[in-house]
Amino acid sequence: MAQSSMSELDIAKRRLVQAYEEGVDPDLASVLKNFPNHREELLDFWVILRASDREEDAGDGSEAGPLSESESATIRDICLSSSLGSEWLEKPPSESDRLLAEVGIAMQRVRESSVPYEGPANKNFQRAAIYSWLAERWAGSRDGKTSRMAVQKLAYLLDKGLETGLFSEHRKHKYGPYDPTARYRDAEPIALRNGYLVASGRYEFHIGAEIGKALESAERYLPDPAVAKALVDALRSLGVDQWALETLATVHAIAVKMPSQDVSSEAVLSTLAGDATWKKKVGRPNFTRAKVQMALDQLSLLGLLSQG
């Protein structure tokens, strides 16, 4: 078996050498497709082969010396890009990317096909039930607790993802999009009064003893409870905290007002810096350039930003 494997590798190398000596670019994609078990060995061999030009270009008869690790990596990338296209240089999607993309596809399906709730419950109670549902889901258990900020931002993202129409009154606040009516008029007051949530200090909730009633109701009001769960659970599984939720919601609120081709981390940060309410976010740990770019990437995977 080893003899057969070595023979395959030799054949593949011979094809590359022959093309190189004839002065033509080899059909590297075909070679790699025909010998997938030797992909890395063939790529490394090809880099060495192409790098031999370096010795010929020295010109004065001196030896060019061995390639450094960075030089080898650069040559490899250039060769791959010219022969296979730039997509070969991109990292394969991570598990987290795949998870968010799957949720994004599911949310798009809901937006395109869901039928709004038309039962007897009024909008205020629907908001309270879903608000409580979000708090319990984010807390992870009925013994846990969560923050008002987390629930506010989850309600914003849920409304954008599933187009519930229930949390559409968000305004600009120092901590991102904020719905004061949920805080003072309906969702939170009703949830506290009915025992779905219990206030814990000024900014947190414990899950209340009557949460089961809210969860049962929310299942009827959500366009697709399974997809809503998938969104919240995906964000929790990625280690997203309340500050990352603030970043996601704020970046979304800014980006959706830009032409898609103009959306970038630089553009978002520039908008923040020029906004009287949000300019203090710039420089905070959850609004570095890297965190803003991460938020843009996650929002795109979730299908919440149009593609340029």
How confident is the model over 211-237, as pLDDT tens digits? 999 999 999 999 999 999 999 999 998
Q: Is the domain of 64 the same as that of 208?
A: no
- Does 131 lie in the same domain as 67? no
pLDDT tens per residue across span 129-151: 999 999 999 998 888 899 999 99
Residue 11 covered by a domain: yes
The answer to whether position 307 is within a domain reads no
**Stretch 290-308: mean pLDDT, rounded?**
88
Residue 282 CB neighbours (<10 A): 18
Tell me how far apart the alpha carbons of residues 287 and 233 are, in angstroms, rounded to a whole number.
23
Same domain, 121 and 208: yes
Q: Which pLDDT belongs to residue 160?
A: 96
Across the chain, the runs of DSSP E, i.e. the strands, are 145-147, 197-200, 204-207
Residue 157 lies in a domain: yes
> Do 172 and 265 lie in a common domain?
yes
Domain end, chosen from 89, 123, 147, is at 89
Q: How many domains does the chain have?
A: 2
What is the per-residue pLDDT for 14?
Answer: 76
**Do 67 and 101 share a domain, yes or no?**
no
Percentage, residues of the chain above pLDDT 90: 58
Is the domain of 49 the same as that of 151?
no
Q: Give the phi and the psi of residue 115 in degrees, each rounded to 5.
A: -110, 125
Cβ atoms of residues 81 and 89 within 8 Å: yes
57, 89, 121: which is the final residue of a domain? 89
**From residue 48, how far is each of 14, 22, 67, 79, 115 by CA, in Å?**
14, 17, 9, 11, 60
User: Does 181 reside within a domain?
Assistant: yes
On whether residue 229 sits in a domain, the answer given is yes
45 occurs within a structural domain: yes
Would 124 be classed as within a structural domain? yes
Q: Which of 141-145, 217-221, 274-278, 303-307 is least confident? A: 303-307
Any domain includes 308? no
Last residue in a domain, options 33, 66, 89:
89
Integer Rg of the chain from CA? 27
Site of tokens 């990596």:
73
Do 81 and 99 reside in the same domain of the chain?
no
If asked whether residues 283 and 139 sit together in one domain, one would say yes
Cα separations (Å) of 105 from 93, 155, 230? 16, 19, 11
Contacts 24+ apart (CB under 8 A), 114-120: 114/162, 114/163, 114/223, 114/224, 115/223, 116/165, 116/223, 117/220, 117/221, 117/223, 119/220
Q: Once rounded to an integer, what is the mean pLDDT over residues 249-273?
A: 94
Q: Are residues 78 and 109 in the same domain?
A: no
User: Whole-model pTM?
Assistant: 0.70
User: Within this chain, do residues 128 and 227 fall inside the same structural domain, yes or no?
Assistant: yes
Range of the domain at 250: 95-301
User: Is 46:28 a contact under the CB 8 Å cutoff?
Assistant: yes
* 224 lies in the same domain as 266: yes
Q: Are residues 171 and 260 in the same domain?
A: yes
